[in-house]
Chain A
Amino acid sequence: MKFWIGAAVFLVVAIGFALSPVNEYFFFAAYVILTAVVLATAWNILGGYAGYVNFGPPAFIGVGAYTAVVLFKAIGAPLVVQILAGAAMGALLGLGVGLLTLRLRGIFFAIATVAVVFIMETLAINWRYVGGATGLQLQRPEVMAPFTSYTRMLFAVMAIMAVVSVAVARYVQGSWIGRGLRALRDSEEAAEANGVPTLKLKLFACVVSGALLAAGGAPMPMYLSFIEPASTFNLAYTVSSLGGAIIGGMSHWGGPIIGALILSTLQQIITVTISGEVNVLIVGVLLVLFVVLAPEGVMGLFKRWLKPS
């Protein structure tokens, strides 16, 4: 109940902001930060709960974005349809990738997911309809009332998506599925021997995580008014999705929110005040610090601080 009240308050404040005369740049930056929350939360369902480190977020984000572009170009589909279709394609990709790779473990699984990124990027580069390697300029449609600019509307949409993805992650964590995922993360053999259908659960996590990652990427072409393979399938998305989860803490749904907020806010500030290059360095330094000093992330630090043993 508390969660839903919090979510409702957050949405009211976010949409209220979007309707207020606050400077447009705020929404431009806040959209990126909220996307980071969606991506980290989505990544954590497979990477954190099940312990399968997925380096493939760009593949899923790209599939979401390109699905949106194709639908927009072909039939002028509205944003909601673009996002839902993107999520559906992401789920399908998750199922396919899962069936092919989830029998691999640890580093082998991670490497296989990197390969998926390159495969999807190559496909996009060679697809003329969506502009191939040079990309495609997109004309944003008219903004819907009551919003006064498209960026403001995208910000509000992303706020809703953040709430949806966190709600999904929270549900999975608290359900019997979450317990099964934890069990198989701790020991896959023991989980099987105790009745947990590990392959099915991993596939489920991969599908849900894939759908949310793709949904997070779907509004991006409209946000940029442009799509192009190199930046869409950029491995930097991998770093920010798993970085958010690692920094925030992977065992609780709150972790990726905190991590993504810290990381991407910092990145936004540094990009503006120092440079776009330094912000990559900051992510690296933060990741190293957290892995070494606080392997359970901010949530872990918080827990230790609450009950010192």
Chain B
Amino acid sequence: MAEALLKVNGVSKHFGGFTALSGVTVEIARGERFGLIGPNGSGKTTLINCISGLLRNEAGRIVFDGRDVTPLAPHQRTRLGIARSFQVPRPFHTMTVLENLLVPSAYVVHLSDAEGTDKAMDILKGMGLAPKAHQHAAQLSQVELRKLELARAMAANPKLLISDEAMAGLSGAEVDEVLAILFRLNEAGITIIMIEHIMQAVMRFSQRVVCLDAGKIICEGTPQSIVQHPEVQRAYLGA
């Protein structure tokens, strides 16, 4: 097997006395569609904050594309190819949709505005956001904001895309729409980590799923095996 794209090795994170992650180890292969599930407060977002660099892990190492990124700032990790969307959309609200995408295209891919605009329009077309390109991000609807999060992450030309609950709160049809986008990106060769509460979406999308509970990985496997796993059922349903 080729070397994994991302290796998370024994990562721990505490907030005061609270242990958010303890010794999480997981490897993600190139081109994989990887699902990360777990009940509320299980450490999913903390884990991806550690991977993207927003939080510093206290123990353990994170190796991306053969390089130890543990000491790097988030913007440096983005430049290496780790892009993410935010659970609560964080658009650059004083900019237009297009300008939002020009930020990573200038800072990560180092494109001129003209080149960046061409590329950004392609991405926006793929997401069905092209008609909104010149609107301010503050005027978008929820589903459009989710798509903008993904589009902006894509403008950074990532190798790994982390989608943090891109579908929470969306209607069934909208979930299908976002899923289709993610499938398409994966086919284009991008490794995707999906964090999601909507089980049906994770199950359909992922090749492999890991379930976190109280900061630990309690099981790992195919979507089918995961739902039947007694630990997972206990974590979600209690008892």
Q: Which residues of A contact B (CB under 8 A)?
A: 176, 179-180, 182-183, 185-187, 189-199, 251
Contacts and interface: CB of A to CB of B under 8 A. Distances in A.
Given A182-B94, A186-B95, A196 B86 contact: no
A194 B104 contact: yes
B102 interface: yes
A33 to B, nearest CB: 30
13 contacts: A176-B106, A179-B106, A180-B103, A183-B95, A186-B93, A189-B86, A189-B90, A192-B73, A193-B75, A193-B84, A194-B75, A197-B107, A251-B94
B144 to A, nearest CB: 16
A193 B106 CA distance: 13
B90 A183 contact: no
Majority secondary structure of chain A interface residues (helix, strand, loop or mixed) = helix
With a 10 A CB-CB cut-off, give which of B75, B102, B156 has the most chain A CB atoms: B75
Contact of A195 (B54, B75, B92): B75
B115 to A, nearest CB: 13
B8 to A, nearest CB: 18
B91 interface: yes
B108 A197 contact: no
Interface in B80-114: 83-84, 86, 90-95, 99, 102-104, 106-108
Contacts of A186: 90-95
A176 B153 CA distance: 18
Contacts, number: 81
B75 A192 contact: yes
7 tightest A-B CB contacts, nearest first: A195-B108, A195-B107, A190-B90, A192-B74, A186-B92, A187-B90, A194-B104
Contact of B92 (A176, A190, A197, A198): A190
B78 interface: yes
Contact of B75 (A182, A185, A196): A196
A192 B53 CA distance: 9
Contacts of A195: 75, 78-79, 103-104, 107-108, 156
A192 B54 contact: yes
B52 interface: yes
Contacts of B94: 182, 185-186, 251
B92 A183 contact: yes
Contacts of B155: 194
With a 10 A CB-CB cut-off, give which of B86, B104, B153 has the most chain A CB atoms: B104
A180 B90 CA distance: 15
With a 10 A CB-CB cut-off, give which of B53, B106, B153 has the most chain A CB atoms: B106
